């Protein structure tokens, strides 16, 4: 877990190191959430967190919660490889598809997903409690 901490911190700066373990354990127990890392030597340069969900809209599908590539490795193909890996996992489990969300301000991310043949299909609303 400590090898992914620097990269996860790039994507989720509000998460503390102690949150990492606690949130991971809760998510893993709740719905099998798993991290997959792409390593260069001992350094994690790409990270993806995912889980399998079932709902009335998407049926059984793979949901990607987190996808990040270290700043110095962006545009090197690591993100595309992680998405292809996720697609292979989804096919292996007979999922109906894959799904993810990104922030409305994440223009670079949206361009990346569109280049990788992902389609914009929804707008997400949130309300903090």
- The three-state secondary structure class of 56 is coil
What average pLDDT does range 65-69 have in this prediction?
A: 92
CATH architecture assignment, domain 5-115: 3-Layer(aba) Sandwich (3.40)
For 2-35, the pLDDT digits (tens) are 788 888 888 888 988 888 889 999 999 999 999 9
Q: What is the pLDDT of residue 99?
A: 96
pLDDT tens digit sequence for 48-63: 999 999 999 999 999 9
HEC secondary structure over 58-122: CEEEEEEEEEEECHHHCCCCHHHHHHHHHHHHHHHCCCCCEEECCCCCCHHHHHHHHHCCCCCCC
> Does residue 8 contact residue 47 with C-beta atoms inside 8 Å?
yes
pTM of the predicted structure, to 2 decimals? 0.89
> For the chain, what are the domain ranges?
5-115
Distance CA 23, CA 55 (A): 23
Chain center to CA of 1: 16
Confidence label for 103 from pLDDT (cuts 50, 70 and 90) = confident
Closest residue by Cα to residue 53 from 23, 25, 92, 95: 95
């Amino acid at each position: 877990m400590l090898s992914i901490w620097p990269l996860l911190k790039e994507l989720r700066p509000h998460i503390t190191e102690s949150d990492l373990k606690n949130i991971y354990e809760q998510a893993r127990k709740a719905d099998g959430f798993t991290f997959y890392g792409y390593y260069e030597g001992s350094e994690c340069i790409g990270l993806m967190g995912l889980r399998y969900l079932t709902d009335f809209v998407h049926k059984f599908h793979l949901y990607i919660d987190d996808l990040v590539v270290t700043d110095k490795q962006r545009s090197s193909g690591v993100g595309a490889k992680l998405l292809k890996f996720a697609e292979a996992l989804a096919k292996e489990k007979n999922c109906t598809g894959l799904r993810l969300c990104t922030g409305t301000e994440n223009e670079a991310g949206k361009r990346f997903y569109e280049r990788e043949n992902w389609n914009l299909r929804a707008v997400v609303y949130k309300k903090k409690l």
